[in-house]
Structure 1
């Protein structure tokens, strides 16, 4: 029986998910990886276990299959100390404008599914009296932009959910962290035009998630420059903002 803390990474096969798993494993956490393709995560089990001498397990998890959430949580060998949700789908704004199914998938992948699963863990953590919940949202949720408002609106909803949950849970020994990355160089952003000084690599986000948990932070921007950038963007008058082409 291990006395190490355990982290559950939802979306463990994503670049940021793998980076977060490495950061926590390096810090001595046992790691539970979860993703739609559990078999694809098996190499990570061997690598993390051998590299950091921690326990690593894999579970199948589909954020769109909300009916399976109760069984997923109940089937975990150990209720984790920390759960990190990195699941999400950028999608294509142009497609989402005409294709309702695509728009719904973006919204469900970034808001409905992550909120419901973290809400379920919140109830378990609150009953236990301890635990940390981390939701990876996005700076795109701070203000809707013409270029990605379907994705941005879902992230805005997720951020609001995390904010309310944090206020409720703070009275009961459970902490909720919102992580808002800006541009991150990953498979999801491949082919996009990224702004160099505002772009980070996935391991930077992974390390920031771990640091936020250890410091009991509330809202973290990655990189920190985005806090000022989004402050400026959020305060722009609507008459000016709607004329911007971004």
Structure 2
């Protein structure tokens, strides 16, 4: 059966790179996001690269009504559904401290919306008895840090949800891969201080699709971030609360 990838948050740099890889494999691709002109351009590029069926569906994941419409339109007959969730919002924490509405949008876009969409799609994975789910998380979700704990907590919640979804879908043969990127050369990380050994979206995409195909539970990329976060997770709370990063 032909593969169909539903890419939620298709305008992100990592998602774009994944779409290019998937198009070369000949998969059907549904690009989901808010910027329709941008999505249409990416869909045209995907067709040129080998995706015979690359379509666009509009959706603001923070809007419950829009999510419901997406769920009703998501499937393509005679294909096997796979999902890549690459959506998120990372405002400055200082700004969210003084803007409750922005904080709520961050949570809705980064956790609540993606979780609701995956929950709505879960029964289909059970019916088709297989498929791949990829959730782009973040190393920020591994530990609460003073400068980024709001965004980090949303990503941590999404990773915990994905772990439960993985257990739910295991009996039917579907897999759930959580990706925890370190520093990737994207618009989200542009200009941030202290970046080192930054990976490209293309390298990240290849690693993501390889891990998903193997059914790998968690992928840190670049791989050395697994060791970095192992060390950070073992910092005692008495020390962690004093750190200013």
- Alignment TM class, shorter chain as reference: over 0.9
Q: Which residue of 1 aligns with 2:244?
A: 245
Q: Give the Cα separation in 1 of the matches to 2:208 and 2:65.
A: 28
Aligned mates of 2:51, 2:148 — CA distance in 1: 41
Q: Taking structure 2 as the reference length, what is the TM-score of the superposition?
A: 0.94
Q: How many angstroms apart in 2 are the aligned matches of 1:202 and 1:177?
A: 17
Q: Name 2:179's counterpart in structure 1.
A: 179
- 2:216 equivalent in structure 1: 217
Residues 238/34 of structure 1: CA separation in 2 closer, same or farther (3 Å cut): same
Rounded to whole Å, the distance in 1 between the matches of 2:132 and 2:156 is 21
Instruction: Name the Cα RMSD after superposition.
Output: 1.5
Q: 1:102 to 1:117 in 2, by over 3 A?
A: same
Whole-Å Cα distance in 2 between the matches of residues 232 and 91 of structure 1?
26
Q: What is the CA distance between 1:12 and its match in structure 2?
A: 0.6
Counterpart mapping for 1:84-99 below 5 A? 84-99=84-99
Q: Aligned pairs, how many? A: 243
What corresponds to 2:23 in structure 1?
25
* Matching residue of 1:14: 12
> Partner residue of 1:159?
159
TM-aligned CA deviation for residue 53 of structure 1: 4.7
Deviation at 1:77, TM superposition (A): 5.2
Change (3 A) 1:53 1:78: closer
Kept after mapping to 2: 8 A contact 1:111/1:157: yes
Corresponding residue for 2:226? 227
Unaligned runs of 5+ in 1: none
2:35 corresponds, among 37, 45, 49, to 37
- Residue equivalent to 2:62: 64
Q: Residue in 1 aligned with 2:118?
A: 118
Contact residue 5 and residue 81 of structure 1 kept, 8 A: yes
Shift of 1:67: 2.3
Question: Where in structure 1 do 4 or more consecutive aligned residues deviate above 4 Å?
Answer: none
| Paired residues of 1:8 and 1:82 also in contact (CA < 8 A) | yes
Q: Do the aligned residues in 2 keep the contact of 1:36 with 1:60 (CA within 8 Å)?
A: yes
In the TM superposition, residue 153 of structure 1 has moved relative to its aligned partner by: 0.4
**Superposition TM-score, scaled by structure 1 size:** 0.94
Shift of 1:58: 0.8
After superposing the two structures, state which structure 1 stretch, 139-148 or 117-126, moved more: 117-126
Task: Please state how far the C-alpha of 1:52 moved relative to its aligned partner.
Answer: 2.3
Separation in structure 1 between the aligned mates of residue 36 and residue 24 of structure 2, nearest angstrom: 22
Change beyond 3 A, Cα 1:53–1:111: closer
Residues 140 and 53 of structure 1: CA distance in aligned 2, closer, same or farther (over 3 Å): closer
